[in-house]
Amino acid sequence: MKRALLSVSDKNGLVVFAQGLLARGFSLVSTGGTKRALDAAGLAVTAVEDVTGFPEMLDGRVKTLHPLIHAGILAKRDDPAHMAALAEHQITPIDLICVNLYPFAETIQKPNVTRAEAIEQIDIGGPSALRAAAKNSDSVWAVVDPADYDRVLVGLDENDAALRQSLAAKVFAVTAAYDAQIAAYLNPEPFPALYTPTYRKLKDLRYGENSHQQAAFYAAPGAPKSSLVNAVQLHGKAMSYNNIRDADAALSMLNEYRDPAVVAVKHMNPCGIGVADTIEAAWDKAYAADSTSIFGGIIALNRTVDLATAEKMHALFLEIVMAPAFEPDALAVLSKKKNLRVMTIQLAQPAAATVEATPVRGGVLLQTTDAAIEGPDDVKVVTKVAPTPEQLSALLFGQQVVKHVKSNAIVVVRDGQTLGIGAGQMNRIGSVEIALKQAQTNANFAGAVLASDAFFPMADCVDYAAKHGIRAIIQPGGSIRDQDSIDAADKYGIAMVVTGVRHFRH
């Protein structure tokens, strides 16, 4: 008779799977809670301690770690010496291992979990048994995922060797990911000597950045609730690769704001941001910021979407609308467009600094996210004229926007509204020209101020800004030619403040 060892933390599908094994001539061996579940279902099952002659001990830390178990798993069935050794020691071969691991990742996500509680969810015997079975997958079935139970039963009927090999590979992937999560928990250093990220595939995508590229979407274990992987799509067609990247950028921008805010994104750059007393007013500002570029854009809102705001968005072609919630009649209006993706998201309050990775050929770059937010006390007035309170508020708003714009980045704003954005130019004056050309078409341009992600290496940007109506500028400073820009600002009566914080975004 074939023997199967079952020891699972996730009991979903367990009884039906065990019944299938019994029907196929297996005897069952089990541990602790798994055995109790099988006993309750009236199935014939032998306790591990009856096989080993040694009781479970140390509060369950030692159960399957025994030669009578591991020799039964690891013996090569086609090696006479191995089989003779089993016979000599009266060890029965084990032909199938079904184990899923202690819920370590789920445990450490719980609020106020202690280190001691987390440590107890580090599985030792489970990974050992699974890895032994996977190593001997020419003869032994290694089952780690309840989602595989049905196809394992079919594979047993067909003696599907290819499936056994596939399951073995999955075991090593699962245990590697499990160990990586534990290592990250025990060593929270953001830049460890060994960087071992692990991700779970959420879905395959139709294609990547372009139609000839393949792509898939993965989630990190324990991803924060405020991340895009935990968004819920309520309506519309499937998200594409570019949709996901744009939506993630929009969510990062949205997390900057506590007041009602609307962010419109195209190609990972903001094309309009509005902050106001109500979400409808914020939408009006974001739309008016660039009513041309918003076409086909991604819209993120940090308040529940009401009917009036939904009706205004419905009048446009948009790719995605995402918000914490939607009033039922607002959702009904947006859902009239069958392809519009409507999603609920959770926001970070405030945006938390994390570590982000950027792949390079043969490696990866890690850095902490740019979570810096400058306030009134973080700026230094360097000109003869100081900004008015209204100008300073606008400058700080522009500084929040500029950190999410591709460098070289220039943002022209006024009263909680972007008016013009110059992004990704090879020289800073080019970005200034683009931002001001767009801003001057806006009815709210009078009194606009300008924000720069990095210092001005020359005074030409200040000269151009002054000639086109800018009366206040915020920039990090730090150039060896800072004084040239300060002198130019003084010449034109412009207020300039520096922050000492650069917000490059490559």
Q: Does domain 2-186 have CATH number 3.30.70.2740?
A: no
List the 96-100 sheet strands across, edge first: 46-47, 26-30, 2-8, 96-100, 141-143
Q: Is 146 exposed, middle or buried (0-12, 13-18, 19+ CB in 10 A)?
A: middle
On the 0-12 / 13-18 / 19+ scale of CB atoms within 10 A, 213 is exposed
Please list, in sequence order, all residues whose beta carbon lies within 8 angstroms of the beta carbon of residue 318, skipping any fewer than 6 positions away: 294, 296, 297, 298, 299, 340
Query: Is the pLDDT assigned to residue 267 strictly greater than 80?
Result: yes
pLDDT tier for residue 62 given thresholds of 50, 70 and 90: low
Query: How large is the average pLDDT for residues 488-504?
Result: 95
State pLDDT tens for residues 284-298: 999 999 999 999 999
- Flag whether pLDDT at 1 surpasses 80: no
Mean pLDDT of all residues belonging to the chain: 92
**pLDDT at position 320:** 97
Residue with the bigger pLDDT between 358 and 417: it is: 417
Nearest to residue 133, comparing CAs of 193, 207, 71? 71
- Could you report the per-residue pLDDT of 426-465, keeping only the tens digit for each? 999 999 999 999 999 998 899 999 999 999 989 999 999 9
CATH of 375-498, one of 3.40.630.30, 2.40.50.100, 3.90.550.10, 3.40.140.20: 3.40.140.20
Instruction: Select which of 2, 11, 82, 267 is catalytic.
Output: 267
**pTM for the full model?**
0.84
The ranges of the chain annotated as CATH 3.40.50.1380 are 2-186
Q: In the chain, list all ranges with CATH 3.40.140.20.
A: 224-344, 375-498
Catalytic entry in 135, 170, 312, 337: 135
CATH superfamily, region 224-344: AICAR transformylase, duplication domain (3.40.140.20)
pLDDT of residue 350: 64
pLDDT in tens, 155-211: 999 999 999 999 999 999 999 988 988 988 888 888 888 888 888 899 999 999 999
pLDDT value at 60 more than 70 = no
Encoded tokens for 242: 């570019």
State the Cα–Cα distance between residues 139 and 161, nearest whole angstrom.
9
User: What integer pLDDT is reported at residue 503 of this predicted model?
Assistant: 92
Q: How many helices (H) and strands (E) does the chain have?
A: 18, 21
Tokens of 318: 């948009």
* 135 catalytically annotated: yes
Strand ranges (E), 46-166: 46-47, 96-100, 141-143
Q: 352-375 burial string, b = 16+ CB within 10 Å, else e? A: eeeeeeeeeeeeeeeeeebeeebe
DSSP letter for each residue of 153-181: HHHHHHT-HHHHHHHHHHHHHHHHHHHHH
pLDDT digits (tens, 9 = 90+) for 144-154: 999 999 999 99
3-class secondary structure, 239: coil
Q: What is the pLDDT of residues 205-232, one digit of tens each?
A: 999 999 999 999 999 877 888 899 999 9
